[in-house]
A and B are shown apart, each in its own frame.
Chain A
Amino acid sequence: MADEIILLDFWPSMFGMRVRVALAEKGLKYEYRQEDLRNKSPLLLEMNPVHKKIPVLIHNGKPICESLIIVQYIDEVWKDKSPLLPSDPYQRAQARFWADYVDKKLYELGGKIWSTKGEEQETGKKEFIECLKLLEGELGEKPYFGGEKIGFVDVALVTFSCWFYAYETFGNFSIEAECPKLIAWTKRCMEKESVSSSLEDPHKVHGFIMGMRKRFGIE
């Protein structure tokens, strides 16, 4: 029986993009369904009753929620192609640690950059850069966080890069000036089709956030 894979997503979400990258890495065919987050589909509410959020992967009718959990699921089910997590338990734990770090920090701090002003925004920017620098240090001289190939942490982090242009514009700063190695890493990742075909155009993302700022009256 052929696998039926459906992805419920919302195009600007860096979390949804993680799943798209993972599916592409594994060469999987799936049905992509765009959700309107202001008018969530009955399917989304049924498949993720606890959080009612995207992304949700529906594999042969069964839902999996939370982007990093979905990526691990994809990696475990389709384990013979392009493994994303290392085979060594300690390396695997380290990958989970850093992916968890990205989740704990970047979305909230990035949110402060585009949705606040003054001192709150400045603090957000400062802490955001500190986090990126820490991640840059973790990357070190490796081509990818996963070593010679992209791995779990690469997938967790690279999808934020299409939001960088928006953060830089609204925050009035340059991420490349602060973290050149990390930006070099994002460009390296974008050379891979699984990444470039999954990430959204940064200008489109910027336009989306501009719309959000207008809606929330942030200027």
Chain B
Amino acid sequence: MEEVKLLGAFPSPFTHRVIWALKLKGVKYDYVEENIFNKSHLLLQSNPVHQKVPVLIHGGKPLAESIVILEYIEETWPQNPLFPHDPYERAVARFWLRFGEDKLPAFWAFFGTVGEEQEKATKEAKELLRILEEHGLGERKFFGGNEIGLTDLAFGWIACWLEVLGEVAGVKLLEADGFPRLQRWIEDFKEVPVIKETLPDRKGMLAYFRYRRSTFIGEAASYEAAS
């Protein structure tokens, strides 16, 4: 069997998507923790275009972009399917995968902003969560239906990262009663054994994102002071 290697970073939800997919499929892999402030030669060589994690290297062949990697994993290891077979259902799943990616900067803008700009960003993030609540999830238990699928993995950051980012930035996005379906989804998602075992350590995340926010608002605060 060909060697599978994953270059990732512990605070990265993109990395975790791939970890979850590999574990759900029972695929053995070597994990390399990257320091994103001091990227390894292997990472830069394997992903010269974007120079980001995660990168999956299968039998020496590198792949970048988590969503691309997820579909590759699904096609290469078809056991425990995480993606529909029906072309229309696949198109719907890909739509939400794409929505999640395209809107990520808008979902997270509250984290890198302060004051009025943060209020605006928070409002926009809540509108996006509303779209997920009503159109994305709807009446389903998971985005993938009765079982978790790639779309659930892609939105896994809502289950763990959102709350940490919110705490660090002093913003609460998922108020109680405001998003009942998403709240229930978060609980169900975190109960899936593979997910439960691999959620990143909360203390470590808080420390890391506190540091990241201090670098963002250092700039934002000085801009606010100047304007």
Interface size on A, residues (CB 8 A): 23
Complex: A93 Cα to B68 Cα, angstroms? 6
Judging by beta carbons under 8 Å apart, are B68 and A69 in contact? Answer: no
Which one of A19-27, A71-79, A181-189 contacts B?
A: A71-79
- Given the known inter-chain contacts A50-B99, A65-B95, please indicate yes or no for A76 contacting B72, CB distance below 8 A: no
- A56-78 residues with Cβ-Cβ distance < 8 A to B are 59, 62, 64-66, 69-70, 72-73, 76-77
Residue pair B88, A62 in contact (C-beta under 8 Å): yes
Number of interface residues of B (CB under 8 A): 23
Residues of B within 8 A of A72 (CB): 90-91, 94
**Bound Cα distance from A170 to B145, whole angstroms:** 49
Measured in the bound complex, the distance between the Cα atoms of B72 and A36 in whole Å is 38
Which B-chain residue is minimally distant from A101 (CB atoms)? B49
Task: Report A-chain residues with C-beta under 8 Å of the C-beta of B72.
Answer: 89-90, 92-93
CB < 8 Å: which of B63, B69, B71, B98 contacts A66? B98
B24 CB to closest chain A CB (Å) equals 17
- Chain A residues, CB < 8 A from B75: 89, 92
User: Which chain A residues border B131 with CB–CB below 8 Å?
Assistant: 50
Tell me what chain B mostly uses at the interface: helix, strand, loop, or mixed.
helix
Name the contact of B87 in the complex, choosing from A73, A90, A94, A101 (C-beta under 8 A). A73
A49 at the interface (CB under 8 A from B): yes
Say whether chain A's binding surface is mostly helix, strand, loop, or mixed: helix
Contact present for A64 and B91 (CB under 8 Å): yes
Asked if A97 meets B87 with Cβ closer than 8 Å, knowing A49-B135, A50-B99, A72-B94, the reply is: no
Distance in angstroms from B130 CB to nearest chain A CB is 11
B133 at interface, CB cutoff 8 A = no
Whole-angstrom CA separation of A70 from B94 in the bound complex: 10
Determine if A122 is an interface residue (Cβ-Cβ < 8 Å): no
How far, in whole Å, are A49 and B65 apart by their CA atoms in the complex? 27
Question: Cβ of A134 < 8 Å from any Cβ of B?
Answer: yes
In the bound complex, do residue A64 and residue B65 qualify as a contact, i.e. CB atoms below 8 Å apart?
A: no
Asked if B58 is at the interface of the complex by the 8 Å CB criterion, the answer is yes
Q: Is A96 an interface residue (CB 8 A)?
A: yes
Q: Does B61 contact A (CB under 8 A)?
A: yes
Q: How far is the CA of A145 from the CA of B219 in the complex (A)?
A: 42
Within 8 A of A (CB), among B97-130: 98-99
| 14 A–B contacts from the bound complex (CB under 8 Å) | A50-B135, A69-B95, A72-B91, A73-B87, A77-B87, A89-B75, A92-B72, A93-B72, A94-B63, A96-B65, A97-B65, A97-B68, A100-B67, A100-B68
B interface with A by C-beta (< 8 Å)? 49, 58, 61, 63-65, 67-69, 71-72, 75-76, 87-88, 90-91, 94-95, 98-99, 131, 135
Given contact pairs A50-B95, A96-B65, enumerate 9 new A-B contacts (beta carbons under 8 Å). A66-B98, A69-B98, A89-B75, A90-B61, A90-B63, A93-B71, A93-B72, A96-B68, A100-B67
